[in-house]
Amino acid sequence: MVKKRVVWICALLGWLNTSRTAHSRGTRHFQIGYKDRLMYIVASSEAQREEWIGALRKLCVNNEQLADKFHSGAWSGGRWGCCGRGPRLAPGCRSTWVTTPLSSESSLPRGSISCEPVPTRTKEVPLVTTPARVVTALYSFQAIEKGDLSLEAGREYVVLDDSGEHWWQVRDGSGAVGFIPSNYVEQKAGLWQHEWYAGDMSRQRAEQVLRQETKEGAFVVRNSSTQGFFTLSLLANSPTGVFQVKHYHIKSRSPGQLYLSERRTFATLEELVRYHRHDSGGLATRLRHWPTRLRRTAPTAGLGHDKWEIDPSELALLEELGSGQFGVVRRGKWRGCRDVAVKMMKEGTMSEDDFIEEAKLMTKLQHPNLVQLYGVCSKHRPIFIVAEYMKHGSLLHFLRRHEKALSERGPLLLLDVCLQVASGMAYLELHNYIHRDLAARNCLVGENYVVKVADFGLARYVMDDEYTSSGGAKFPIKWAPPEVLGYTRFSSKSDVWAYGVLMWEVFTCGKIPYGRAANAEVVEQVQQGQRLARPHACPSEVYQVMRSCWEKKPDARPSFRSVKTQLEKIMDKDH
């Protein structure tokens, strides 16, 4: 009876969508699309979700009339979040899973949604094939876990399954199949194949890299703060003999018409760079070479495509890095080859079972400005949390240690720190994660001033006096907005408030917010509308962004995505 019912449901099935929606947090839900309606389903765990989806897909394998497009976002407020289309039953905007092999079966045929019963196959039906998707490895990757595949930088791989956000199944040139981190590859013939392309490098970081060259004509091309546009950053000699970095916006008249000067347009970015390597064409100097220090560091990847439980015997614990409300943090070596940070959680200070379930999901979060959670030792007491190791420790201590040097560098470096934190938080916001304890002490600094947000989501599971108000609620008072102080209401907008305080910490090089004021005084000041004053080193336009984070009503505060965009535009201005 159950089997017949499932087959009937699958016969109506138009598409299966495993993307996130606004209706639930994490990766436990999926959508089923019917001809006349949608169904949102939430499993009890990620593993159960994958089991259900796999079963449904296999049951649909003979349905010859599946939709070839689906919506990757949720339908909310009269529109689809992915493409902005209005009708609820509007055609999808993204190719469905039906082109992905399920196991040993061939690629699935696809067509349009149908409510007819699944026909019985009496003869072989020609399969619809699509061109193989080929990607190029940007970085080498050494597979460690079973089922993963090693990558060699510059080699090409065929994508078999890209339904996962961070781990894709690919096939290499010898026919070997396995999972690889998706952020280690790009579409064949993409911009990353060019050594002059710097991606999302900020203006401040570009200037730092180019000035270290001390050779006229050093250049990089980077993404502009305006989506889809680019900026050329070029080191040139000034009349006084001092090197200056010039920034040129690459404009687009229409698709396939890029230019720096309207007198000459180019079909591609590659053609534009090639031309200006031989002719300055209005630039301060021609493009001569890219920086030798434009060394691309491989992004952080997890330990494996399905790895979250770590055997403590694989860890060698080294020196202590610090201690806090969670317990002691020590540097460690995983399997003798990878530096990690190991948080040894205080027993009795956290809700362990709930945290372990959450940690499975947190290992899936990957972003250049988030500290990567590799996994946990949950069968060991105390619990170990194994995370990415960041050489220079907490942002708070880094600011205090290097106050003089940072002050001399001017506001752009400090603004870049804020921008990196905003970028990481925008990613958490997109994935419906609330940090609850965003502050300079909970961000870490690595090589080349790379800043990453750490400890996201942990505060919810920790029981510590430092985080307890007079009413018994747990949160850091000086980083808390009115709705948290009064009603313990956490949201992404309460994180935005805390981010404004973090910006203040950055531009004061680690001063204590509200000085020596007691928590009770701070609560009174905030509820009366008093706000932190503009730090001396903070430009007025940056302080305006900071102040917007401290609006009394949560809805009046900007999103992290908006904050990031505003800071990028300020960064791209001449100072």
Q: Containing H/E element for 486?
A: helix 482-487
Higher-pLDDT residue of 559, 252 = 559
More confident call, 4 vs 201: 201
> What's 304-323 look like in SS3?
CCCCCECCHHHEEEEEEEEE
Stronger pLDDT, 269 or 139, i.e. the higher one: 269
Please report, rounded to a whole number, the percentage of residues in the chain having pLDDT higher than 70: 74
Q: Is the pLDDT of residue 114 over 60?
A: no
Q: Is the pLDDT of residue 525 over 90?
A: yes
Selecting among 68, 172, 416, 437, the annotated active-site residue is: 437
**Each residue's pLDDT tens digit, 115-136:** 444 444 444 545 545 567 888 8
> Going by C-beta distance under 8 Å and a sequence separation of 6 or more, which residues neighbour residue 54?
102
Report residue 320's pLDDT band, with 50, 70 and 90 as the boundaries. confident
> Residue 67 in contact with residue 112, Cβ under 8 Å?
yes
Selected residue with higher pLDDT from 313 and 545: 545
Please check the confidence at residue 240 and state whether its pLDDT lies above 90: no
202 phi/psi in degrees, rounded to 5: -75, 165
Dihedral angle of Cα 207, 211, 217, 223, to the nearest 10 degrees? -20
Name the E strands within 260-351: 315-324, 327-334, 338-345
Checking if the pLDDT of 485 tops 80, the result is yes
Q: For the ranges 2-11, 153-162, 543-552, which has the lowest average pLDDT?
A: 2-11
pLDDT at 37: 66
Q: Which of 217, 343, 346, 335 is nearest to 286 (CA)?
A: 217
3-state secondary structure of 71: coil
Confidence grade of residue 389 (pLDDT, cut at 50, 70, 90): very high
User: Each residue of 245-254: pLDDT tens digit?
Assistant: 999 988 887 7
In eight-state DSSP terms, residue 35 is: S
Domains of the chain, CATH where assigned: 2-99 (2.30.29.30), 133-191 (2.30.30.40), 196-276 (3.30.505.10), 312-388 (3.30.200.20), 395-571 (1.10.510.10)
Q: What pLDDT is recorded for position 118?
A: 44
Q: What pLDDT shows up at residue 523?
A: 94
Residue 2 confidence class, pLDDT cut points 50, 70, 90 = very low
Active site residue 279: no
Greatest Cα pair distance, the chain, in angstroms, is 86
Is 333 labelled a binding residue? Answer: no
Q: Provide the pLDDT for residue 4.
A: 36
The predicted pLDDT at position 41 comes to: 80
CB neighbourhood size of 521 (10 A): 13
| Spatial contact of 386 and 374, defined as CB atoms under 8 Å apart | yes
Range 190-210 average pLDDT: 82
**Could you read off the pLDDT of 454-473 as tens digits, one per residue?**
988 665 655 444 444 334 44
- pLDDT attached to residue 35: 62
Q: What is the pLDDT at residue 551?
A: 97
pLDDT band at residue 103 using 50, 70 and 90 as cut-offs: very low
pLDDT at 482 exceeding the cut of 90 = yes
Q: What mean pLDDT do residues 389-412 have?
A: 92
Highest mean pLDDT among 143-147, 445-449, 480-484: 480-484
285: DSSP letter: S
Contact 277, 260 (CB under 8 A): no
pLDDT at position 379, please?
Answer: 82
